[in-house]
Structure 1
Amino acid sequence: MYGSWKIGRVAGIGLYVHWTFLLLLAWVVIGTALTGGGWAGGLVSGALIIAVFTCVVLHELGHALAARRYGIPTRDISLLPIGGVARLERLPDKPEQELVVALAGPAVNVVILAVLGGISLAILGPAQLLGSSRVGVDFIRNLLMVNAAMVVFNMLPAFPMDGGRVLRAVLAMGIDYGRATNIAANIGKGLAVALAIVGLFWLENPILAFIGVFVFFGANNEARFVAERRKYQGIRVADAMLTHFQTLSGFETLGNVAGMMLRSLQPAFPVINRGVYEGMVFRSDVAEALQTRSPFESVSLVMRRTVPRIPVTAELSDAVGAMRAAQSDSAAVFDGVTPVGLLTLQNIDLLLVNVRRGAATSTPGRIATESMYA
């Protein structure tokens, strides 16, 4: 995720923190210190924020480990001021699997509540835990309240919360997955509008209204995402990739590559050095670099190394999801360690047009992808 720094790995999954999270932490610490809490109070508030987001990481790790059980890898876990995000490589294949993955996160918070609450009650007793104003007790009480709120909030039947995915999974056990998504998304939108109205006009709470807006767009995006995936259902990467494409070496100059691009419609070029794939060079990056750099400089200066590597056996829906997540409109397709094709969103769109045309005329319609950029 752009604007994020990697702070480590947990269970083999990269853990990232967005810079705005650090801004939130500084705002809480300094704000508490300057409004009467003193620097000691500010540090306690900062520690509470860190403890809360540790619970958020454990929540997202619950999703990730449940998904791993079904063979679904997790790209990374990112911490944002509004919570955490675990980016799975793909959606679970079956509603029962999605139900388990969706419930795993809130289940972690329930376990934290049970363990932390049980230990606190055993040591402090109900009276102290509920009524004491000591710093340590107040810290534990706040952490318990936040975990309880996380369970309740995440189980709201609306995307992008876990409750929306639970609702869809339950519905999909009896009806079509796309219809289940639309029903769950519409329920989420209705709930979002209700939250915004209550927040603005009844409780006069702008934060609740903001949550309503967040939920509304989350529900809308989920419905669009699933609709897009269904467009590619049943199509494999091998049916959509270009098999005739040009490659570059990392020793090419920007000027030479610009000349090659003038003679080709290919939007991106894989870079191969001594038979080893190193990354991709995009038209837009070369054009931008030539505005400030010499045409005799190496094209490796603008090579992108984080473009997804797509297996030739992958489903097209998974490949497009990986490309969207990486904000890349092109990707190299691999058979083992060897690049065997080039996948572009433009080519995929043309393939879909051809497939629809073939379906309308009852004739098979595979597009001639290998010659599109010749």
Structure 2
Amino acid sequence: MFRDSQAIFEFRGPWGVPVRIGASILLMFLLFVSTSGSGTDILYDLGFVAMLIVSVFLHEMGHAWGALIQKIPVRGVMIHGFGGYCQQARTSTPRESELIVAMGPIVTLTLWAVSRLIANAMWDAGHEYNTVLWFFETMAWLNGYLAIFNLLPVAPLDGGKLFELILLRFMRGKNASIVTGYIGLAVLALLIPYLIFGAHMYIFVLFFLPAVVENWNRMRGQTY
């Protein structure tokens, strides 16, 4: 929900799309490593962060593919410590946006499904729990969580965008934006107490502050 525009590394991804790595990715590494214990824990935490970065990268490339397949040029993809985003060279129509937005969650759900199937097959075969099995179990859990989180009807998450695009089929743009804002604030009101008192992930509440502001502005009709 933050947008990091300061790149520390850049390379060419699939279809020649420029991929930039934001400076805030270092903050994510520090957050995970700072809570590690032994050297083994640090290695597993670094592995988890690497899987997270790869999962976000593939998710954003899904968005890029959704644009390119509809002849919409893509300026680049940014991966940063709080997620990522795909930059299009031109604004897409609501119908074009439906595929572009949906392709990110579709890729994430595919990663979850494939990882879950492989992990289950390894368990069924009596495979001993080791690094390989940990990898697929973690990839399944990680992408399952990312899919659920990202599909929440909260702007600017993909779920919020898809919700608004669906509303646009039945109402005018400003009204769709206002309804999305109301729903987004309601979901955030339910989610933030859970993060504080249920999951004890209080630090991640800070990541939601920009979403609160955006959905508040939508509710007041200021973002259309």
% same residue: 21
Of residues 131, 136, 156, the one that matches 1:135 is 131
Of residues 139, 154, 157, the one that matches 1:158 is 154
Equivalent pair of 2:181/2:215 in contact (CA under 8 Å)? yes
1:4 matched to 2:7? The reply is yes
Equivalent-residue separation in structure 1 for 2:10 and 2:61 (angstroms): 15
Equivalent-residue separation in structure 2 for 1:173 and 1:185 (angstroms): 17
Give matches, 1:278-317, under 5 Å.
none
Query: 1:62 is matched with which residue?
Result: 62
1:14 matched to 2:13? The reply is no
Give matches, 1:13-162, under 5 Å.
13-29=17-33, 31-32=35-36, 35=37, 37-38=38-39, 40-94=40-94, 96-125=95-124, 133-162=129-158
Equivalent-residue separation in structure 1 for 2:28 and 2:105 (angstroms): 24
For residue 86 of structure 1, give the secondary structure of its aligned residue in structure 2.
Answer: strand
Equivalent pair of 1:192/1:213 in contact (CA under 8 Å)? no
Per mean C-alpha deviation after superposition, the further-off stretch among 67-76 and 48-57 is 67-76
**Which amino acid in structure 2 is aligned with residue 80 of structure 1?**
H
The alignment of Structure 1 onto Structure 2 pairs a total of residues equal to 219
How far 1:187 moved relative to its partner? 1.0
The structure having more radius of gyration, on CA atoms, is 1
**Which amino acid in structure 2 is aligned with residue 166 of structure 1?**
L
For residue 79 of structure 1, give the secondary structure of its aligned residue in structure 2.
Answer: strand
Larger RCO: 1 or 2 (CA < 8 Å, sep 6+): 2
**Which amino acid in structure 2 is aligned with residue 111 of structure 1?**
T
Pick closer, same or farther for the CA change 1:199–1:27 going to 2, 3 Å: closer
Give matches, 1:252-267, under 5 Å.
none
How far 1:29 moved relative to its partner? 4.0
Per mean C-alpha deviation after superposition, the further-off stretch among 162-171 and 9-18 is 9-18
Equivalent pair of 2:154/2:211 in contact (CA under 8 Å)? yes
Equivalent-residue separation in structure 2 for 1:126 and 1:220 (angstroms): 51
Root mean square deviation of aligned Cα: 2.7
TM-score, structure 2 normalization: 0.83
Equivalent pair of 2:115/2:139 in contact (CA under 8 Å)? no
1:188 matched to 2:172? The reply is no
Equivalent-residue separation in structure 1 for 2:157 and 2:131 (angstroms): 32
How far 1:24 moved relative to its partner? 2.4
Pick closer, same or farther for the CA change 1:126–1:161 going to 2, 3 Å: farther
Pick closer, same or farther for the CA change 1:151–1:204 going to 2, 3 Å: closer
Pick closer, same or farther for the CA change 1:225–1:57 going to 2, 3 Å: farther
Q: What 5-or-longer segments of structure 1 have no aligned partner?
A: 228-374
Query: 1:340 is matched with which residue?
Result: none
For residue 92 of structure 1, give the secondary structure of its aligned residue in structure 2.
Answer: coil
Equivalent-residue separation in structure 2 for 1:100 and 1:45 (angstroms): 34
**Which amino acid in structure 2 is aligned with residue 168 of structure 1?**
E
Q: What 5-or-longer segments of structure 2 have no aligned partner?
A: none
TM-score, structure 1 normalization: 0.52
